[in-house]
Structure formats: C-alpha cells, structure tokens
Amino acid sequence: MIVKLPCVRDWHDHDLTGLLQHRRTSHGRGTRGARSGEAFCARRSIVGDRSLPSRGRIPGTSHSSDGELERADSGLRSLVSVQGALTIQAIHSFGSSEQHARWLLGLVSGERVGCFALTEHGHGSDPDEMETRAERDGDYYVLNGSKCWIGNASIADVKVVWAKDEDGRVGGFVLEKDAPGFRARDIEGKFSLRMSRTSECWFENCRIPAENRLPNASGLKAPLSCLLYARTGIAWGVIGAAIDCYETAMTYAKEREQFGRPIAGFQLVQQKLVWMAQEITKAQLLALRLTRLMETGAARPAQISLAKRNNVWMALQCA
Ligand SMILES: Cc1cc2nc3c(=O)[nH]c(=O)nc-3n(C[C@H](O)[C@H](O)[C@H](O)COP(=O)(O)OP(=O)(O)OC[C@H]3O[C@@H](n4cnc5c(N)ncnc54)[C@H](O)[C@@H]3O)c2cc1C
C-alpha cells in the first residue's frame, strides 16, 4: 500500500502551485523563488527535521518528506537537499558550537540560503583531485580555485567550500555572503531540474577569517559523508516522482474510454498500474528500513547506494 504524508501533501497541493509555476517559467532564476522555496520548507520544518536530530524530529519522517517535495518538482527536492543534507549537515557534523550558533539557526529557519561546493570544472566523480586551495595567512585563509555545478552558489548567504590546505588535506571553509574575491555565475539552459539554481563560481585571493574553517572536517571523508545523506534523500525523493506518475496514469486510465469503456477496465492496463503500486510500496519499505538504519548509525554506504539505485530505477520504469 502506497503511503502518503498528509501534512506535506496538503502544503504542496495548496501552497506550492503558484511558486512552482513561477520557478518553472523563470527556469529557476530569481532570488525570490529560491528564498520563498526555502522559507516554505522551513515553515514546515522540513529542512530542520532532517538536519538536526537533537532538535526532536519525528522519527522516520526526516527524509520521507522528500517524496512529497519531489512529487511537486525534483528541483524543489534538490534545493532542500542542498540546504539540509549538505550545507546544514556539514556545519552540524563538523562545525564548532560557536559555528553552530552563528550559522545553523538562519539556515534551518530558511532565512539564509546555503550551498555546498565540492565539484570542480575538471573534477566531478574524483573530488580528491580538487585544485582549489586554502592557504593560511595569519588570522585568515586565502582561497584560490573554482567550483562548478553548485546548487544556489550565486545567492547563498553561507557557502561551505571544500578545498585543500597547505598539507594537501581537504577541509571545509565557510564563506559568508559578499566575501571579497568570490564571484559566481548561474548555469543557464539546463534540460532538467530547471527549478533549482545551479552555478559555477571562482575564488580569487578570497580571504576569510581562519575561524571559518570547520574544525572537525579532516579529509575527503567529511564531504563524502554529507553525500550519503543527500543520497538517502534521493532514495525517498524519487518515490514521490513515481507516485505522481502512478496517480496521473490512474486518473487518465479511468477517464479515457476506448471500446466503450474506460481503459482502466482492461487487464493489460491494470497490470501496469499494479506493477507501479507494487514497486512504489517496495521502494518505500526499502527507504524506510534505510532511514531506520541511519537513525541508529548502522547504515553502510553500500546500503545507501543500493536503495538509491533501486528506487531511481523504479521511478524511471514508472515514468
Ligand atoms: C543539477 C546538478 C546539481 C549539482 N549540485 C551540486 C552541488 O550542489 N554541489 C556539488 O559539489 N556538486 C554538485 N553537482 C555536481 C555533481 O555531483 C557531479 O556532476 C558529479 O560528481 C559527477 O561529476 P561530473 O559531472 O564532472 O562527471 P564526470 O566525473 O566527468 O563523469 C562523467 C561520466 O563518467 C562516468 N564515470 C566517471 N568515473 C567513472 C568510473 N570510475 N567508472 C565508471 N564511470 C565513471 C560518470 O558516471 C559519468 O557518467 C551537481 C550536478 C548537477 C548536474
């Protein structure tokens, strides 16, 4: 049986329609759209629920809301993933208590937009080869390099940037809005995920206070651990896309008449709808089991990838 999250679904059905039309037609551009999207999410505690376990989230709902978001638009789920699973998660996991106090509240409330900059123009699947450098200069770090395909980089107030220090060790460095030496440009003309903004950005002698380095992020495993949360969100999110396909197909099959009756009355059509309902239900169980494992810290990366792989395949088959 397909499970739905009523509170997020109501919000989608009643509040999101106008926002989605605006974002789709403007190809994801305009700060108003991105900021209002984050604010909507924050109002429903969707971003915060998943990101700050200590704040008392409802067990099991942290990533399941991704399904309802993606039922609306994959770009909306992506936007929330960047804010929650990547930016907030990085600061929450690897930041000091002072850094938590400084940045997390605004990010969780949606008043501040975050981004997570790992990928570079020449280094995507292999981020260990990253060229961006952060060199210590007294009480500052000076960043040089570039990043590409970064969600919300051009409008982000809080940017978590991954760069190598003088020892060649990957570290996390937080840039605040308008840091000198930082510039970004949106990538235009994406064929999909048009609702979410994606940017390339450059750091040219970009000077940030040394205290902006995340003290507990040491090595590439830090950003990679955040990607595990993002993958879990995708495993949930694509279920929403599949549910939308199922509901659309079901509605059409009931309305469309051929040979004197709705095509939903033909067993070959029913078989396709049943397959979708069956695989969506199995995908939900897989994602729920994964979330339970993550809540106890027992999930392994291979299990996370397996859930994402299966559920993405399932959604593509439904489509
Ligand atoms: C819409 C969008 C939003 C994004 N948002 C962010 C973000 O917010 N932050 C961020 O840091 N990054 C972001 N990314 C970047 C994303 O994570 C990278 O696209 C990803 O890491 C792959 O890198 P690449 O695109 O450079 O592909 P490449 O690494 O160049 O790979 C090209 C192809 O080769 C294949 N390939 C590579 N290596 C192997 C191998 N060893 N074996 C078999 N096949 C291989 C890949 O699967 C792929 O099909 C975003 C990307 C997109 C499209």
Burial of 35 (0-12, 13-18, 19+ CB in 10 A): middle
Q: Are 153 and 201 a contacting pair, CB within 8 Å?
A: yes
- The answer to whether residue 74 sits within a structural domain is yes
pLDDT grade for 11, boundaries at 50, 70 and 90: low
The total number of structural domains that make up the chain: 3
Q: Could you tell which of 125, 132, 170 is best to mutate to test the pocket of ligand 1, judged by most ligand atoms within 8 Å of the CB?
A: 125
* Residues 99 and 133 reside in one and the same domain: no
**Among candidate residues 58, 74, 109, the one where a domain is terminated:** 109
- The answer to whether residue 188 sits within a structural domain is yes
* Residues 128 and 66 reside in one and the same domain: no
Residue owning the nearest CA to atom 47 of ligand 1: 125
* Residues 52 and 16 reside in one and the same domain: yes
pLDDT grade for 20, boundaries at 50, 70 and 90: low
* Residues 226 and 246 reside in one and the same domain: yes
15-19: long-range contacts, CB 8 A cutoff, minimum separation 24: 15/40, 16/40, 16/72, 16/76
Angle, helix 301-318 to helix 267-295, in steps of 10 degrees: 160
**Among candidate residues 212, 239, 264, the one where a domain is terminated:** 212
Read off the CATH number of the domain in which 27 is found: 1.10.540.10
* Residues 65 and 148 reside in one and the same domain: no
Read off the CATH number of the domain in which 163 is found: 2.40.110.10
* Residues 174 and 188 reside in one and the same domain: yes
Mean pLDDT of 180-205: 94
Task: Return all residues near 30 (Cβ < 8 A) that are at least 6 apart.
Answer: 22
* Residues 203 and 258 reside in one and the same domain: no
* Residues 11 and 104 reside in one and the same domain: yes
Residue owning the nearest CA to atom 40 of ligand 1: 125
* Residues 140 and 90 reside in one and the same domain: no
Mind listing the pLDDT tens digit for each residue in 28-72? Answer: 444 444 555 555 554 544 554 544 444 334 333 357 788 989 998
**Among candidate residues 165, 194, 212, the one where a domain is terminated:** 212
> What pLDDT score does 13 carry?
63
- Show the domain range for 57: 6-109
- The answer to whether residue 27 sits within a structural domain is yes
- The answer to whether residue 1 sits within a structural domain is no
pLDDT grade for 215, boundaries at 50, 70 and 90: very high
* Residues 105 and 118 reside in one and the same domain: no
Ligand 1-lining residues (CB < 6 angstroms): 82, 116-119, 124-125, 149-151, 193, 198
